[in-house]
């Protein structure tokens, strides 16, 4: 099966240009993104004389230039050439001119000139090491009980979607461009929040209800869920808070197991503990297996850092901790080796996917885990990363689309198999050449 190369820019020869969405098959996982090869011409300091007119070298000749056949046999053609009667071919092209004032220097005696492999779009495409496709994306979606979609101020382009209306439209749009995986984040009514977060395992709560609806409408959709108490906790923490402020580990894990089983029962494909309690992966695995959900995957937030990049997300769900911070369970951003402690735990407890979060500021952690584990790796490009790129784009300080694609490609290069990103739909549209 031929792989298909996608390029948002128009500078590639037609044969290398991507297919459009009409020919694009969302089920194929072999689409590749190539960082745009077109660079602005660099200005050379000009001498006083006006710049000479550039010769435009033709890229390809029209097929009408093909000479008419004479009907000669191979032997006759060879004999003609041997007799000195050589047919015409284009002359060797003239050496392109350098601008006036260019210094004349002997060429450097280099045995290796890495620029040779970057000379043309076709060469660059041939040697591209990392690829990216809509199949690599998991689209995080915020849901609420309302019927309208509510814009999220700190995340331009993101909404709290009505679970029976806006959500279904958004999922359909994503599937249209090959994004077939989503992860759900609920905005839970304050009246349902308690210190022990029991709404998290209500079988008819917002998340289980939504999963059943989605599975009914889109049976092939891969549904990831978040396992943590924060959207359900009146304290805004991922676990149960003791009166002295301590986040209780084992009691929280007990709740998380019930939450994961409720999600699996509703039809979740992948449950994703993001709470960072110790021992939760093994406990959730046992609970799922006991309930008959041996086939449900666990994507563990293995290295989740106590990061300020989560700010816009907490606004989206109104889930800021009521007091304190999450530093007794989420990791210290200063720590690298500690990620391997978490990897060993999650691997031995049966995690199917290891996740690193945030994404771009933590590429070294992704690479470390890629080099030390055989399990698939997920990177979470979190809300703050998304909002910074959006804000920079809206202020016209950066090219939003190019920075978006580059950031995603870099997460892949660092070693991520899949990427949770609020850009999933926009980036997938870009990959299949569809403008918004």
**Residues, the chain, total?**
436
Quick one: which of 143, 179, 214, 228 contacts ligand PBG (CB under 6 A)? 228
**Closest distance to ligand PBG from the beta carbon of 405 (Å):** 19
Q: Which is nearer to ligand PBG, 383 or 407 (CB)?
A: 383
Residues 6+ apart with CB under 8 A from 105: none
**Closest distance to ligand PBG from the beta carbon of 12 (Å):** 34
DSSP string, 188-219: --GGG-BTT-GGGG-TTSHHHHHHHHHHHH-T
39 is catalytic: no
**Closest distance to ligand PBG from the beta carbon of 150 (Å):** 17
Nearest Cα neighbor of 294 from 302, 304, 284, 303 is 284
* Per-residue binder mask for ligand PBG (CB under 6 A), 379-418, x = binder: ---xx-----------------------------------
| Per annotation, catalytic residue among 193, 304, 326, 390 | 304
Paired residues of 380 in beta bridges: 420
Q: Which is nearer to ligand PBG, 170 or 238 (CB)?
A: 238
Q: Which is nearer to ligand PBG, 180 or 383 (CB)?
A: 383
Q: Which is nearer to ligand PBG, 24 or 310 (CB)?
A: 310
CA 394 to chain CA centroid, Å, is: 21
**Closest distance to ligand PBG from the beta carbon of 388 (Å):** 12
Residue 116 has phi, psi (to 5 degrees) of -55, -40
Taking the C-alpha atoms of residue 86 and residue 80, their distance in angstroms, rounded to an integer, is 7
CA 116 to chain CA centroid, Å, is: 30
Residue 404 has phi, psi (to 5 degrees) of -55, -50
Quick one: which of 226, 269, 342, 349 contacts ligand PBG (CB under 6 A)? 226
Q: Are 185 and 319 in contact (CB under 8 A)?
A: no
Which residue, chain included where needed, has tokens 């020869």?
13
Which residue, chain included where needed, has tokens 């300091």?
45
**Closest distance to ligand PBG from the beta carbon of 383 (Å):** 3
Q: Which is nearer to ligand PBG, 280 or 326 (CB)?
A: 326
**Closest distance to ligand PBG from the beta carbon of 272 (Å):** 8
Residues 6+ apart with CB under 8 A from 169: none
Q: Which is nearer to ligand PBG, 163 or 313 (CB)?
A: 313
25 is catalytic: no
Quick one: which of 230, 346, 349, 401 contacts ligand PBG (CB under 6 A)? 230
Q: Which is nearer to ligand PBG, 184 or 430 (CB)?
A: 184
Nearest Cα neighbor of 255 from 283, 276, 236, 216 is 283
Which residues within the stretch 252-281 sit at the binding site for ligand PBG (CB under 6 A)?
274-275
Taking the C-alpha atoms of residue 348 and residue 60, their distance in angstroms, rounded to an integer, is 58
Does 199 help bind ligand PBG (rule: CB under 6 A)? no
**Closest distance to ligand PBG from the beta carbon of 315 (Å):** 10
**Closest distance to ligand PBG from the beta carbon of 327 (Å):** 11
Paired residues of 140 in beta bridges: 183
| Per annotation, catalytic residue among 187, 193, 326, 357 | 357
* Per-residue binder mask for ligand PBG (CB under 6 A), 367-386, x = binder: ---------------xx---
Which residues within the stretch 309-368 sit at the binding site for ligand PBG (CB under 6 A)?
310, 313-314, 326
Query: Judged by CB under 6 A, how many residues of this single chain contact ligand PBG?
Result: 12
Strands 240-241, 247-248: parallel, antiparallel or unpaired by DSSP?
antiparallel
Radius of gyration, CA atoms only, the chain: 28
Binding segment for ligand PBG among 174-182, 223-231, 368-376, 388-396 (CB under 6 A)? 223-231
Q: Which is nearer to ligand PBG, 32 or 314 (CB)?
A: 314
User: For residue 200, with 0-12 CB atoms within 10 Å meaning exposed, 13-18 middle and 19 or more buried, which class applies?
Assistant: buried
Greatest CA separation for the chain: 102
Residues catalogued as catalytic:
304, 357
The residue ranges that bind ligand PBG (CB under 6 A) are: 226, 228, 230, 238, 274-275, 310, 313-314, 326, 382-383
């Amino acid at each position: 099966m031929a792989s298909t190369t996608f390029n948002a820019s128009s500078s590639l020869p037609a044969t290398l240009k991507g297919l459009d969405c009409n020919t694009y098959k969302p089920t194929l996982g072999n689409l590749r993104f190539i960082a745009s090869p077109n660079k602005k011409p660099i200005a050379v300091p000009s001498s006083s004389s006006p710049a000479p007119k550039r010769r435009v070298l033709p890229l390809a000749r029209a097929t009408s230039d093909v000479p008419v056949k004479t009907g000669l046999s191979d032997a006759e053609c060879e004999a003609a050439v041997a007799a000195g009667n050589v047919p015409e071919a284009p002359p060797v092209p003239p050496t392109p001119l350098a601008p006036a004032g260019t210094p004349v220097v002997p060429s450097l005696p280099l045995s290796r000139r890495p620029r040779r492999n970057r000379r043309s779009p076709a060469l660059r495409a041939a040697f591209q090491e990392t690829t990216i496709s809509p199949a690599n994306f998991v689209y995080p979606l915020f849901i609420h009980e309302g019927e309208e979609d509510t814009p999220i101020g700190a995340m331009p382009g993101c909404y709290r979607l009505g679970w029976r209306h806006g959500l279904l439209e958004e999922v359909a749009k994503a599937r249209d461009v090959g994004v077939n995986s989503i992860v759900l984040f609920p905005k839970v009514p304050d009246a349902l929040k308690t210190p022990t977060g029991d709404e998290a395992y209500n079988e008819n709560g917002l998340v289980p209800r939504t999963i059943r609806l989605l599975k009914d409408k889109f049976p092939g959709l891969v549904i990831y869920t978040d396992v943590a108490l924060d959207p359900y906790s009146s304290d805004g923490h991922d676990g149960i808070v003791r009166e002295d402020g301590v986040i209780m580990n084992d009691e929280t894990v007990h709740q998380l197991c019930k939450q994961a089983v409720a999600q699996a029962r509703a039809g979740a494909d992948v449950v994703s503990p993001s709470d960072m309690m110790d021992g939760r992966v093994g406990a959730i695995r046992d609970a799922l297996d006991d309930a008959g959900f041996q086939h449900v995957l666990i994507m563990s937030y293995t290295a989740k850092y106590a990061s300020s990049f989560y700010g816009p997300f907490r606004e989206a769900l109104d889930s800021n901790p009521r007091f304190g911070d999450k530093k007794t369970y989420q990791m210290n951003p200063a720590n690298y080796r500690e990620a391997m402690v978490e990897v060993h735990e999650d691997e031995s407890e049966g995690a199917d996917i290891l996740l690193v979060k945030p994404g771009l500021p933590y590429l070294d952690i992704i690479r470390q885990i890629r080099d030390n584990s055989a399990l698939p790796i997920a990177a979470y490009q979190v809300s703050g990363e998304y909002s910074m790129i959006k804000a920079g784009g809206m202020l016209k300080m950066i090219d939003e689309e190019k920075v978006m694609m580059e950031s995603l490609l870099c997460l892949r290069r660092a070693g991520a198999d899949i990427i949770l990103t609020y850009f999933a739909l926009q980036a997938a549209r870009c990959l299949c050449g569809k403008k918004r």
